[in-house]
Structure 1
Amino acid sequence: MPPGSAIDQVVTPLPAKSSKTEDILAKDKRYCSFGDTVHYADPPKIFTRCEGSYLYDENGTPHLDLQMWYSAVNFGYKNRRLNDALKRQIDTLPQLACQYLHAEKVELAEALCKLMEDRLGMKGRVHFNVGGAQAVEDSLKLVRNATGKSLNFAFMGGYHGRTLGASAITSSYRYRRRFGHFSDRAQFIPFPYCFRCPYDMKRESCELYCVKQFEKLFETEYHSVWDSKASQSEFAAFYIEPIQGTGGYVIPPQGYFEELSRILKAHGILLVADEIQMGIHRTGKFWSFEHFGIKPDIVVFGKAITNGLNPLSGVWAREDLIAPDKFPPGSTHSTFSSNTLGTTTALEVMRMVSETDYEAKVNTQGAYFLARLKELKQRWRSVGDVDGIGLALRIEMCQDDGFAPNQKLTNDIFEEGLKGDIPARGKKYGLVLDVGGYYKNVFTLAPSLEITEDEIDLGIELLESLFQRCGAVRSGAGT
């Protein structure tokens, strides 16, 4: 290839004075799309290795990760048992077209179906895909196929993915704005977000006012969702996150979902539980819906089912919705849907959680972490709310009044945490956080389920250093 050709230009090294990091960032700016989430930060953070609860940057600085890849790496980075299972499969059957069977797919489906039958008392089947949004798409097809309807309910603050179908039931207009008209956009219902009640009610006295408002939609045809003469709705399903993920790890009050489920059943509307972020023991229970006494018709899962290794997602559905005579071969397709590496790793996850009482383990560590967060709240006026269930925890950052959202402070803390220069215990650390919430003022904490109390204590220490650095207000300051 002659000098000056396209390939020569690509491989020509940058000047010697450029570091490897500068080289990577320069090439990123030139060749990578900015349409993905990497480019929320400027410049993007570069990591070089990981282990346990830590990511390490190019300088070898440990960054304590309290979000674990959006709750995908529940069992810690480089989990030896899961990595070994993946390595064995690479040397055995690393690739296979999804039109053929392999044992791990069938055994994984069996394990999930038996788990669901044990918890729900219902028979069903499992359908695999790759990413969470793709599994949501498959669930939408299941719903349409079963009901003949294309309209759904979903929650304000809900997040189900960014494919076109998933965007239609995700509340943020930002994800739809560039892509035209969504005729099948969901009707969005207020979530029971008690700290910021959309009806300005109080948790202790509201008597589940919000779910009663939803039930009123079915009182007359003029509320647009119910034909009382035909006893029929044009809405097919209600998509829920039992605990909102990207919306800020909002935890509903007890009794809410039981009432919602009763209303949906009375009106022939399916209940679809999105467990992509909260499944696989994130909240202590295997599924988060188990905390609320409900029986979904369809469950969507992904992320931690492979501990963030080879991606795999899926849908469990009731037998009458997904039986082969109702949902025949070819109803959906994805080249990598039941890939051997993903199903093998997921099957090892299922074995692992059957051998260890993760419910007790997660509840113990979660209670300790939440207690430390409550202590943190007492010391800092800028912390308006903390809450948690298992190891799904939230810190809501507020203005001096303890309520008005403080997005700037939240973002400053997030960015400072990634610098890797927080002094603690005689060395420098970084802190990896994730920002969510309706007002982008909530730290959503999803640490490894293997996190130790010492690591939790370190996390609190690092948070307090960042609070002080970024100007958070202490309790009692100025009073």
Structure 2
Amino acid sequence: MTATVPPYAGAGNLIYRAAHVPRFRRAEGSYLYAADGRRYLDAEAANGTVAWGYDKRILQDALAYCEDMPALPSFCESDLRLEVLQRLERLFGEANDTPGRVELDLGGAQGMETALRIAFSAVGPGTVVVFEGAFHGRSGVTSMLSSSPRYRELLAAWGLEVVRLPSPDCGRCPHSAARTPGCTSGCVAAATRWGSELSGVGGTGFNRKVSAFIFESVQNVGGMAEPDHVLLRAAVDHARRNGAVIIADEIFTGMHRTGPRWGFQRAGVTPDVVVASKALTNGAAALSAVWAREPLADPTTYRPGSHSSTYIGIPHALGVVRAVLDRWDGWADPAADMDGLADRMSARLRKLQAAHPDLVSDCRAFGGTARLVLTGDHAPALRQLCLTADSDAGLIVASTGMAPDVINIHPPLVINDPDLDVMTEVLDQALNALRETVEARP
């Protein structure tokens, strides 16, 4: 059953897919407040964007940076944009120990398309390799990269050739018969066999070759699955040997969401191009940043005018980024603090697993991200039960069509222990209600 869609609202978005759709009026800290007065703890952080919680001072600071210039004519420059670009490049370049250049775009999918433009400018258009379970957007191009065929039913860039490596999720990988954590030599071989005459995918000895390998350090939509580090390093090394540009999709995982500044640092890999977005604006503006090591985005390689957008230089979004970067610069040791947050979430989730062994098969937290693996495809139902739980607060968590047995948890990175206790209490109540629902089924 889905909610009644107002006659003036489009039905093609994701809002009205469930019976209970709260209408929010304000937000503060880690909570959203609905029109009926009920509060909801946001353990989804507005799809991972609200790293700093709901803090209206960010918008106030951003306005001070851009109020004298609310718009910028196309093909013009500003001191504000140059400052933001320079500060962003430092965040990327330091992690990769090499200089680069930063392009801006409007959102995650647009940033991924810009990354492909940069890669194709350098090595020529060709095949793109991704993992099963990948999600890189829903635009015509990025829907081809994303795993679910649902994203390609109405619009797709059919001319783009995409090859999918086996799932990096050990629970779903066909090469892990025991379904135990950790990759085997067979997993590595399966991810690095392309490029041969028999594989159907060209390597260095072929004119039609792989131009880009794209990966997520943690697959958000794929159920918070982290590729084994040995597997990921082998896949990156193989792609690089075959001349492919390595693109890290850090749209969700970037800026300490999984612990270090960038998720790829967990596996010890160095990409050629990095796409970031969500944590750069705290959800207050649409913007993505694409970093490319020199000389990939040099104007002699990636020519000026290769891409353009009316709102890429909009001062409002740049002001938001500057205000958010100010906060990141003031955080003494976010990586260590995220390790502490992971420990606190893990302790609570393990207690839930112990209390509900019939419903919870596994749990894991890394940084400000966690996964609660269920014993069946119960995640959509549990998500709704968290919203309507009989408690002082509702709880917002995530579930996806590609991993219906996993609850994704990624609260604001500034969440405190009392709020984590609220999260645990609501999850416990929702799991009890889920058990009643499951037991009542014929």
Pick one of 418, 429, 434 that aligns with 1:465.
429
Runs of 4+ in 1 over 6 A off after TM superposition: none
Q: Which residue of 1 aligns with 2:83?
A: 107
Q: How does 1:54-203 map onto structure 2 within 5 Å? A: 54-80=31-57, 82-179=58-155, 182-202=158-178, 203=180
2:416 maps to a residue whose letter is T
Indicate conservation of the 8 Å contact 1:380/1:473, yes or no: no
> In 2, Cα distance between the equivalents of 1:155 and 1:145?
23
Deviations 1:369-417 (A, max 9, x none): 112111211111211121121011101111xxxxxxx22x322221122
1:38 maps to a residue whose letter is I
Q: Which residue of 1 aligns with 2:380?
A: 411
Q: Which residue of 1 aligns with 2:217?
A: 242
> In 2, Cα distance between the equivalents of 1:437 and 1:278?
20
Indicate conservation of the 8 Å contact 2:259/2:367, yes or no: yes
Q: Helix, strand or coil for the counterpart of 2:384?
A: helix
Give the direction of change, closer, same or farther, for the CA distance of 1:290–1:33 in structure 2 (3 Å limit): same
**Which range is displaced more, 440-449 or 344-353?**
344-353
Indicate conservation of the 8 Å contact 2:386/2:396, yes or no: yes
Q: Which residue of 2 aligns with 1:292?
A: 267
Q: Helix, strand or coil for the counterpart of 1:245?
A: coil
Deviation at 1:351, TM superposition (A): 2.4
Q: Helix, strand or coil for the counterpart of 1:163?
A: coil
Pick one of 183, 187, 210 that aligns with 1:210.
187
Give unmatched runs, 5+ long, in structure 1. 1-24, 399-405, 475-479
1:394 aligns with 2:371: yes
**Which range is displaced more, 66-75 or 184-193?**
184-193
Deviation at 1:288, TM superposition (A): 0.5
> In 2, Cα distance between the equivalents of 1:181 and 1:312?
23
> In 1, Cα distance between the equivalents of 2:436 and 2:300?
60
Deviation at 1:180, TM superposition (A): 6.0
Indicate conservation of the 8 Å contact 1:46/1:57, yes or no: yes
1:42 maps to a residue whose letter is A
> In 1, Cα distance between the equivalents of 2:436 and 2:176?
27
Q: Which residue of 2 aligns with 1:225?
A: 201
Deviation at 1:124, TM superposition (A): 0.8
Deviation at 1:76, TM superposition (A): 0.2
Structure showing greater radius of gyration is 1
TM-score by length of 1: 0.86
Deviation at 1:85, TM superposition (A): 1.4
Give the direction of change, closer, same or farther, for the CA distance of 1:180–1:133 in structure 2 (3 Å limit): closer
Q: Which residue of 2 aligns with 1:361?
A: 337
TM-score by length of 2: 0.93
Deviations 1:225-261 (A, max 9, x none): 2357x36651101111111011111012232222122
Indicate conservation of the 8 Å contact 1:248/1:437, yes or no: no
> In 1, Cα distance between the equivalents of 2:401 and 2:354?
21
**Which range is displaced more, 377-386 or 198-207?**
198-207
Q: Helix, strand or coil for the counterpart of 1:83?
A: helix
> In 2, Cα distance between the equivalents of 1:73 and 1:204?
30
Q: Helix, strand or coil for the counterpart of 1:388?
A: strand
Q: Which residue of 2 aligns with 1:429?
A: 393
Deviation at 1:84, TM superposition (A): 2.2
Q: Helix, strand or coil for the counterpart of 2:247?
A: strand
Taking only aligned residues, the RMSD between alpha carbons, in angstroms, comes to 2.1
1:347 aligns with 2:315: no
Q: Helix, strand or coil for the counterpart of 1:442?
A: strand
Q: Helix, strand or coil for the counterpart of 1:440?
A: strand
Indicate conservation of the 8 Å contact 1:285/1:359, yes or no: yes
Deviation at 1:92, TM superposition (A): 2.3
> In 2, Cα distance between the equivalents of 1:90 and 1:39?
35
Deviation at 1:437, TM superposition (A): 6.1
1:56 maps to a residue whose letter is Y
Q: Helix, strand or coil for the counterpart of 2:327?
A: helix
1:440 aligns with 2:404: yes
> In 2, Cα distance between the equivalents of 1:289 and 1:338?
28
Deviations 1:81-138 (A, max 9, x none): x222123135322211342112221111111212222221211100001111111111
Deviation at 1:418, TM superposition (A): 2.2
1:309 aligns with 2:284: yes
Indicate conservation of the 8 Å contact 1:73/1:308, yes or no: yes
Give the direction of change, closer, same or farther, for the CA distance of 1:120–1:84 in structure 2 (3 Å limit): same
Indicate conservation of the 8 Å contact 2:38/2:393, yes or no: yes
Q: Which residue of 2 aligns with 1:9?
A: none
Indicate conservation of the 8 Å contact 2:176/2:183, yes or no: no
Deviation at 1:310, TM superposition (A): 1.7
Give the direction of change, closer, same or farther, for the CA distance of 1:34–1:297 in structure 2 (3 Å limit): same
1:455 aligns with 2:419: yes
> In 1, Cα distance between the equivalents of 2:428 and 2:295?
52
Deviation at 1:460, TM superposition (A): 0.5
> In 2, Cα distance between the equivalents of 1:247 and 1:34?
25
**Which range is displaced more, 120-129 or 195-204?**
195-204
Indicate conservation of the 8 Å contact 2:133/2:167, yes or no: yes
Q: Which residue of 1 aligns with 2:354?
A: 378
Give the direction of change, closer, same or farther, for the CA distance of 1:119–1:239 in structure 2 (3 Å limit): same
> In 1, Cα distance between the equivalents of 2:110 and 2:156?
20
Q: Helix, strand or coil for the counterpart of 2:235?
A: helix
> In 1, Cα distance between the equivalents of 2:182 and 2:300?
49
Deviation at 1:197, TM superposition (A): 2.6
Q: How does 1:313-352 map onto structure 2 within 5 Å? A: 313-352=288-327
> In 1, Cα distance between the equivalents of 2:27 and 2:43?
13
**Aligned-residue identity in percent:** 28
> In 1, Cα distance between the equivalents of 2:290 and 2:267?
20
Deviation at 1:143, TM superposition (A): 1.7
Deviation at 1:332, TM superposition (A): 0.6
